[in-house]
């Protein structure tokens, strides 16, 4: 299966990508994971990407496309893959089509995780990160026993800049402006399948896998 996962920030793409890729035994290719690794390592790519990520903007196409093209050339993608975080624009989707066409293959399905803006703000703005161990808590879903203190190591909890409500709403505006047109692009080609991404993680996973099975049939 060659699958693209789309949806707004906070829709749970990273979590669902892991479960879905494991279920269908294909590699999960996440641009977010690659960006964060480069940021952590302080590479040139990481320094460039961080400027955009911290502001809630998209990393420029030339950086993202080169990275994805290299990853798709690896042998483990020959029988399928799950792309999380790419494409994010119609222009990137066209480039991906060309990449796959060069190997005489194409996408099987694009799965959209559907969630409204206010739920996204609630999910992301409630996150608190430990300065010492990096564990992420949530004020509503997984609160620490003592406000502002990590249960695991006693470290101070803080809200990352990209988890502030202002940045989240900006990210949603960016998504609506640049990424939402993908829905129409893939819908017009008959490749789109949407699932409700609210509720327990396990329920969303079940809906997603069932939708993919039905789409495959």
Distance (Å, whole) CA 139 – CA 164: 13
DSSP per residue over 100-155, as a string?
A: HHTTT----EEEEEE--HHHHHHHHHTEEEETTT--EEETTTB--SBTTB-TTT-P
The residue from 2, 28, 71, 88 that is catalytic is 88
The residue from 51, 152, 160, 213 that is catalytic is 160
The residue from 2, 13, 71, 123 that is catalytic is 13
The SS3 call for residue 191 is: coil
The residue from 2, 28, 127, 128 that is catalytic is 127
User: Angle between the 61-72 and 90-101 helix axes, to the nearest 10 degrees?
Assistant: 30
Q: Would residue 51 show up in a list of annotated catalytic residues for this protein?
A: no
The SS3 call for residue 28 is: strand
Place of tokens 């099987």: 108
Q: Would residue 88 show up in a list of annotated catalytic residues for this protein?
A: yes
Q: Would residue 123 show up in a list of annotated catalytic residues for this protein?
A: no
- Residues recognised as catalytic: 13, 88, 127, 160, 171
């Amino acid at each position: 299966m060659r699958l693209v996962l789309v949806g707004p920030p906070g829709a749970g793409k990273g979590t669902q990508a892991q479960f879905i890729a494991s279920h269908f035994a294909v590699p999960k290719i996440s641009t977010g994971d690659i960006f964060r690794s480069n940021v952590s390592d302080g590479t040139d790519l990481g320094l460039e990407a961080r400027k955009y990520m911290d502001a809630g903007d998209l990393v420029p196409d030339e950086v993202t496309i080169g990275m994805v093209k290299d990853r798709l050339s690896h042998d483990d993608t020959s029988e399928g893959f799950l792309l999380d975080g790419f494409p994010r624009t119609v222009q990137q989707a066209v480039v991906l089509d060309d990449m796959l066409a060069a190997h005489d293959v194409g996408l099987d399905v694009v799965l959209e995780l559907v969630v409204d803006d206010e739920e996204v703000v609630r999910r992301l703005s409630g996150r608190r990160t430990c300065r010492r161990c990096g564990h992420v808590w949530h004020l509503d879903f997984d609160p620490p026993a003592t406000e502002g203190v990590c249960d695991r190591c006693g470290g101070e909890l803080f809200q990352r800049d990209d988890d502030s409500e202002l940045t989240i709403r900006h990210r949603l505006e960016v998504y609506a402006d640049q990424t939402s047109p993908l829905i129409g692009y893939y819908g017009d080609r008959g490749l789109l399948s949407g699932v409700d991404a609210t509720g327990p993680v396990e329920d969303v996973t079940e809906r997603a896998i069932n939708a993919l099975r039905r789409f495959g049939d």
